[in-house]
Structure 1
Amino acid sequence: MNNSRMKIIDSDVHPWVNGDIEGLKPYMSKSWQMRFEGKRAILPDHPLRPPLAGATSIRRDTTPPSGGAGGSDPYFMREDHLDPHGIEYAILSSIQAGKLVSLPNTGEAITLARAFNDYFRDKWLDVDSRYRLAMCVAVHDPVEAAKEIRRIGGEQSIVAVYMPLINVLMGNRHYYPIYEAAEELGLPILIHPTGTEGAFQTSVAFAGGVPSSYIERHSCFPQIAMGNIASLLFEGVFVRFPKLKFLAAEFGFSWVPHMLWRVDQNWRQFRREVPWLEQEPSRYVLDHVRFTSQPLEEPEKDEYLIQILEMVHAERTILFSTDYPHWDTDYPETTFQRLPQAMKQRIFYDNAAELFGLNAAV
C-alpha cells in the first residue's frame, strides 16, 4: 500500500484572508471597523521573510484562479490540495491570525481573534466537510479567550484551540482559564510559529538574542517549543489538567529525544523541586504532547530518521502535516516513504484522528 491509498489527515494547513484586517471587517462591530481604519488595517509582520518566496511565505503556484493569495480560496484548495492527495481531513490554523500577538492592545487582539474565527466558520467550514478548524484565541486576556472557546468550541467542525504565544511561558498560571475551557470541551491546544517571533515586544523571544536572517530564525524555532514544553511539564500543567493534549506544529521533532533524556536525568537529581511529578517527566510529555512531521528533517542516512522516530515513539506522537500553501510544503507521496506500514498508518491518520476526535466523525 502506498501513501496515496492510505487515509490521510493533514494536521497543518494555513488558510488566508484576502485584504488582511480589511477582509475581516464584516465580522466586526462598526466601532471596531472604524478603529482599524488606515494604518491599523494590516497586521504587523516580521521583516525577515523567506528569500525565495516573495513578500510572504506562500507559494505562487497556489494562487487561485479567482485571484488573491494562495490559501485564500477554499474551493481551489480543495481542488489543488485535498483531492489530488486524498486528504480526508485538513486541520486549518491561520498563521495570519497568529500575528495578533504582535499587538499590545488587548481589545484589538480579542476582536481580531473572534473575527478570524467567524470568517473561517462562514467562508470555509460549509464548503467541504473535510475542513476542520483550530480556532484562534487572544492569550492577552485568558478569561476572554476562555469565553471564545466556550462560544464556538462545541461545534463539530472546531477540533483544536490555536494559541499564538506571547512572551510568557505556557506553564504560567496566566493560561489556566484557556486550559480549563479547552479541557472541558475536549479540545487540544495547538501552538505554531506566528512569524512574529523576536520582532515585537509582546511576541516570543529567541534564546540568546535576535536572529539577523531568515535562515537563522527558521533554524532556531525548536527553542520555542522546547522551552514551553519544559514549562508545561515542570509547572505541573499536565498534572493539573490530566485530560488536556498539546500539539507543537512546525517546530520539528528531532530535538525531542534529547529533551526527554535531559528532563528525566534532571528529575532524578532534582525531583524535590517538582514533587507533583510522580513519574519520569518523559512519560508526561509522551502522554500529553504531539508533534507534526513538517518540516521533515532529513539526516544523512535513512536509518537515522527511523531511529529518531522510534526514540520519540512516533506511533503515538507524530502527526503528518504538509504546511500547505507555504514554500516548504511536504507532500504525502514523498514523506516517510521507507517507514514500516503500521507506523505510517499511525502517523498519517490514526494519531491525528485520536487527537482531534475525528474517529467518531468518519
Structure 2
Amino acid sequence: MSESKQLPVVDCDVHNQFRSGQDLVPYVEEPWKSHMKQFGWVAAGLPYVSPIGNKRKDADPPSGLPVGSDPEYLLEHLGGHFNVDYALLCSDTIIGASNFADPDYVAVVCKGYNDYLIHEWLAKSPKFKGYLCIGTQDPDQAAREIDRVGPHSDIVGVVVTGGARMPYGQRFYHPIYEACVRQNLPFIIHPGAEGSGIFNPPTAVGYVSNYLQWHTCLPQTFMAHLVSFVCEGVFEKFPDLKVVFCEGGVSWMPPLLWRLDKNFKALRASTPWLKRLPSEYVRDHCFMTTQPIEEPDSPKYFMQMFEMFDAENMLLFSSDYPHWDFDDPNRIILQRLPEEKLRKILCENAKRLFRLA
C-alpha cells in the first residue's frame, strides 16, 4: 500500500440505522410513545424501489443486527478496513421526516432521534460525531431544537433532506440558519426523500418512472437549492454560515456557476443585496462530499474537472457507508490526486469545517 493510501480519513456521510422500529420509544413523549410502541416509527416512503437493495453485503454485523445498526461492528469495519478516524453519522431515515404534513409529529421524532443519537451512538466512541436532525416545516421549532442539542460537543452539523416544498434560500427558512450560526454548525443537505410525502416532485418536470431515473436526477435538487441560497442573499445575511451539499455529485458545480455568474452580470438588479459574484459566495460558504463522484474514463478529464473549481478546498470525503454505492477511500478515483490535495479532501477540510481535533 502506498503512503497516500495510509492517510487519515474523516468520513462525512456514514448512515447509522435503527435496530428496530422501537428504538425511539424511550426517547419520545406521549402520546407518541404509545403510538410508537404499537406501530413503530412510521415513514412517508419514497415512491421508488432500488432493484438491488440499498446496502453492502459485507456490512452485515456478525451480531445479526440490521446493517448499520451495530456501533461496535461499524467502528471495526470502517476503522479497521478503511482507516477512518472519524465517522460522521447521518440518519437517512429521519432526515426525510419533513415529508410529513404534521410539523409537531416531526418535531417529536427529530427530538427523540437526536437524544437517541447522543446516548446510543455518540457515547460509544470518540470516533463518532453526529448530525442533528430537524423538521423544516416549522423553522422556529427547528431553531429551538438546534439550540437545545447543538451545544453538545459531539454534534457537528444540522442535516435535512433535499426534498422540500420551496428552495432552501427563501426567508421562510432563515430562523434555521440563524440558529446554525449561533451554534457554529454547518447546514447539510442530503438526498433520500425527494418526491415523497408532501415534498415537491423530484425533478423540474415531475415524477420519473423508476429508481434509476430518480437517483440520476438528484443533482437537479442541489442546483436549485444552491442558486436559491446565493440569490436570496443568505450568505450576505449570515456571513458565517457554511452549507454542505452531501451525496449530490460534483461535476455539475462549475457549469452552473458559470451560468449563474453570467446571468448575474446582466440581471443583478433583481438581487441588489449581492455584493460579489455568485461563484465567490459559493467558494467561501459551500462544500460538497465526494460520494458519488463522477468518474470519467479518461484520467485527464477527471483532472480537468478538478481544475474547474476550488475542488481541493471545497470537497469532503464521504463513503456513504453502508449503502450499495459505497466508496472505498483507498480505491476511489481521488487517489490520482497529488498527496497534498488528497490529504485535504480525505481529512483536513472536514477537520477544519467540523472543528475536529
TM-score bin, normalised by smaller chain? over 0.9
User: Structure 1 residues 48 and 42, CA, compared in 2 at 3 Å: closer, same or farther?
Assistant: same
1:301 aligns with 2:298: yes
2:63 aligned partner? 66
Is the Cα–Cα contact under 8 Å of residues 100 and 106 in structure 2 kept in the other structure? yes
1:35 aligned partner? 35
Is the Cα–Cα contact under 8 Å of residues 140 and 166 in structure 1 kept in the other structure? no
2:183 aligned partner? 185
User: Structure 1 residues 72 and 40, CA, compared in 2 at 3 Å: closer, same or farther?
Assistant: closer
2:198 aligned partner? 201
Match of 2:224 among 215, 224, 227: 227
2:270 aligned partner? 273
Is the Cα–Cα contact under 8 Å of residues 294 and 322 in structure 1 kept in the other structure? yes
Is the Cα–Cα contact under 8 Å of residues 198 and 211 in structure 1 kept in the other structure? no
**Mind listing any 5+ residue stretches in structure 1 that lack a counterpart?**
none
Partner amino acid for 1:172? Q
Residue 37 (structure 1) shift:
5.4
Is the Cα–Cα contact under 8 Å of residues 167 and 204 in structure 1 kept in the other structure? no
Is the Cα–Cα contact under 8 Å of residues 110 and 135 in structure 2 kept in the other structure? yes
Question: Which is further off, 323-332 or 31-40?
Answer: 31-40
Q: Give the TM-score taking structure 2 as reference length.
A: 0.96
Q: Cα deviation per residue 1:284-330 (whole Å; 9 max; x = unaligned)?
A: 01111100000121112111111111212111111111000000000
Q: Cα deviation per residue 1:318-350 (whole Å; 9 max; x = unaligned)?
A: 111100000000011112121111110111111
2:210 aligned partner? 213
Looking at structure 2, the residues matched to 191 and 345 of structure 1 have their Cα atoms a distance apart, in angstroms, of 24
Partner amino acid for 1:26? P
Q: Cα deviation per residue 1:107-132 (whole Å; 9 max; x = unaligned)?
A: 11001111111111001111110110
Match of 1:338 among 298, 316, 336: 336
Q: Cα deviation per residue 1:84-104 (whole Å; 9 max; x = unaligned)?
A: 211111111111111212211
2:320 aligned partner? 323
Looking at structure 2, the residues matched to 341 and 4 of structure 1 have their Cα atoms a distance apart, in angstroms, of 9
Is the Cα–Cα contact under 8 Å of residues 232 and 238 in structure 1 kept in the other structure? yes
Question: Which is further off, 261-270 or 164-173?
Answer: 164-173
2:154 aligned partner? 157
Alignment of 1:37-186 (within 5 A): 38=38, 41-53=41-53, 57-164=54-161, 165-186=163-184
**What RMSD in Å do the two structures reach over aligned CA positions?**
1.5
Partner amino acid for 1:30? E
1:9 aligns with 2:10: yes
Residue 40 (structure 1) shift:
6.4
Residue 67 (structure 1) shift:
2.0
Residue 38 (structure 1) shift:
4.7
Is the Cα–Cα contact under 8 Å of residues 100 and 198 in structure 2 kept in the other structure? no
Looking at structure 2, the residues matched to 340 and 233 of structure 1 have their Cα atoms a distance apart, in angstroms, of 31
Looking at structure 1, the residues matched to 37 and 311 of structure 2 have their Cα atoms a distance apart, in angstroms, of 47
Residue 63 (structure 1) shift:
1.6
Q: Give the TM-score taking structure 1 as reference length.
A: 0.94
Is the Cα–Cα contact under 8 Å of residues 104 and 202 in structure 1 kept in the other structure? no
Aligned length: 354
Aligned to 1:89, the other structure's residue is in SS state strand
Residue 202 (structure 1) shift:
2.9
Partner amino acid for 1:15? N
Question: Which is further off, 323-332 or 344-353?
Answer: 344-353
Residue 49 (structure 1) shift:
2.2
1:350 aligned partner? 348
Aligned to 1:95, the other structure's residue is in SS state coil
Is the Cα–Cα contact under 8 Å of residues 166 and 204 in structure 1 kept in the other structure? no
Question: Which is further off, 225-234 or 311-320?
Answer: 311-320
Looking at structure 2, the residues matched to 99 and 313 of structure 1 have their Cα atoms a distance apart, in angstroms, of 30
User: Structure 1 residues 353 and 41, CA, compared in 2 at 3 Å: closer, same or farther?
Assistant: closer
Is the Cα–Cα contact under 8 Å of residues 289 and 315 in structure 2 kept in the other structure? yes
Looking at structure 1, the residues matched to 40 and 68 of structure 2 have their Cα atoms a distance apart, in angstroms, of 23
**Mind listing any 5+ residue stretches in structure 2 that lack a counterpart?**
none
Looking at structure 1, the residues matched to 200 and 34 of structure 2 have their Cα atoms a distance apart, in angstroms, of 26
Looking at structure 2, the residues matched to 206 and 33 of structure 1 have their Cα atoms a distance apart, in angstroms, of 36
Is the Cα–Cα contact under 8 Å of residues 44 and 196 in structure 2 kept in the other structure? no
Looking at structure 1, the residues matched to 144 and 307 of structure 2 have their Cα atoms a distance apart, in angstroms, of 39
Looking at structure 2, the residues matched to 300 and 4 of structure 1 have their Cα atoms a distance apart, in angstroms, of 22
Q: Cα deviation per residue 1:36-68 (whole Å; 9 max; x = unaligned)?
A: 455564323213122112xxx122321212223
User: Structure 1 residues 100 and 26, CA, compared in 2 at 3 Å: closer, same or farther?
Assistant: same
Partner amino acid for 1:229? L
Is the Cα–Cα contact under 8 Å of residues 14 and 71 in structure 1 kept in the other structure? yes
Partner amino acid for 1:331? D
Looking at structure 1, the residues matched to 307 and 267 of structure 2 have their Cα atoms a distance apart, in angstroms, of 27
Identity percentage of aligned residues? 36
User: Structure 1 residues 114 and 3, CA, compared in 2 at 3 Å: closer, same or farther?
Assistant: farther
Aligned to 1:126, the other structure's residue is in SS state helix
